[in-house]
Amino acid sequence: MSDQLPGFTLVASGKVRDLYAPDGRDDLLLLVADDRISAFDQVLSRPVPGRGALLTRLSRWWFDRLDVPNHLADADVAVPEAVADRAMLVERLDMLPVECVVRAYVTGSGYAEYRRTGSISGVPLPEGLQDGDRLPEPVFTPAYKAELGAHDENIPFEKVVDLVGAETADALQATSLAVFRTASAVAESKGVILADTKFEFGRDREGRLVLGDEVLTPDSSRYWDAAAYAEGRRGVSFDKQIVRDWLAAHWDGNGTPPDLPDEIVQRTADRYRELVELLTA
């Protein structure tokens, strides 16, 4: 996307989102989701049409339904029409360096770590779990936020305490688990399993812990078809697993990822849209 927005200055560009500051304001940011898509820590060359608007719509929907302070701002700042459907005006926070990951099922990188160690982020799990198994209870498995292009590092809770202090670490864990349970119940009522997700938090100017970034989107979460899971078909997803699976089959992880074919791009867009419609109906 262009880095020019009238009345705003680009302050940071991430893998799939850009941050702008409204001219003359140091308390607000404009978070703009792009149609770019990433996988395996790589931004892919083919965008997914409509992705940014769908992610923004879903984040707003969840923020309105979660009983926890969030960073959405109600301010008299005009958002440029060109990005209005995929932008959120948010409060500027002092973000904490922790990815607050909650897992109700063991899969993906968590399953790989479990197979190596019997635990995830230092949390011991029952023996004999298979890919896609439901855990007895959701678990908090934090990660340290990596720089752009690097892998996030799973860390034990004790490391979170070292990074942010014991009181904040306890609050991150308790809030993340509470929000996850609320969201999971909502998703299940719509025929969708929330297998895992990540939250990001920051402090506002009054020192309150505030939920920031995007929330409970198919980029930050694994959503599965509950009916398919009940039939034994695990991992029928509403997220970008379609992209991950295709890349895993066609790319060895070295060099530049190949271009996604039209079919994969369209299937991903359709699954994103299907999830948003299912949840928000």
- Among the candidates 73, 91, 109, a domain finishes at 91
pLDDT at 62: 98
* Structural domain includes residue 257: no
> Per residue of the chain (281 residues), what is the pLDDT tens digit?
446 899 999 999 888 899 999 999 999 999 999 999 988 888 899 999 999 999 999 999 999 999 999 999 999 899 999 999 999 999 999 999 999 999 999 999 999 999 999 999 999 999 999 999 999 999 999 999 866 555 678 999 999 999 999 999 999 999 999 999 999 999 999 999 999 999 999 999 999 999 999 999 998 999 999 999 999 999 899 988 889 899 999 999 899 999 999 999 999 999 999 999 999 98
**Which DSSP string corresponds to the chain?**
--S-BTTEEEEEE-SSEEEEEETT-SSEEEEEE-S--EETTEE-SS--TTHHHHHHHHHHHHHTT-SS-B-B---S-PPPGGGGGGEEEEE--EE-SEEEEEEEE--HHHHHHHHHHSEETTEE--TT--TTPEEEEEEE--EEPPPTTS--EE--HHHHHHHH-HHHHHHHHHHHHHHHHHHHHHHHHTTEEEEEEEEEEEE-TT--EEEES--S-TTTEEEEEHHHHHTT-TT-BSSTHHHHHHHHHH--SSSSPPPPPHHHHHHHHHHHHHHHHHHH-
130 and 246 inside one domain = yes
* Structural domain includes residue 232: yes
User: Domain of 75: which CATH number?
Assistant: 3.30.200.20
* Structural domain includes residue 1: no
* Residue 102, domain extent: 94-252
112 and 239 inside one domain = yes
Count of structural domains, the chain: 2
150 and 23 inside one domain = no
* Structural domain includes residue 259: no
pLDDT at 235: 81
pLDDT at 1: 42
Rounded distance, CA 213 to CA 232, Å? 34
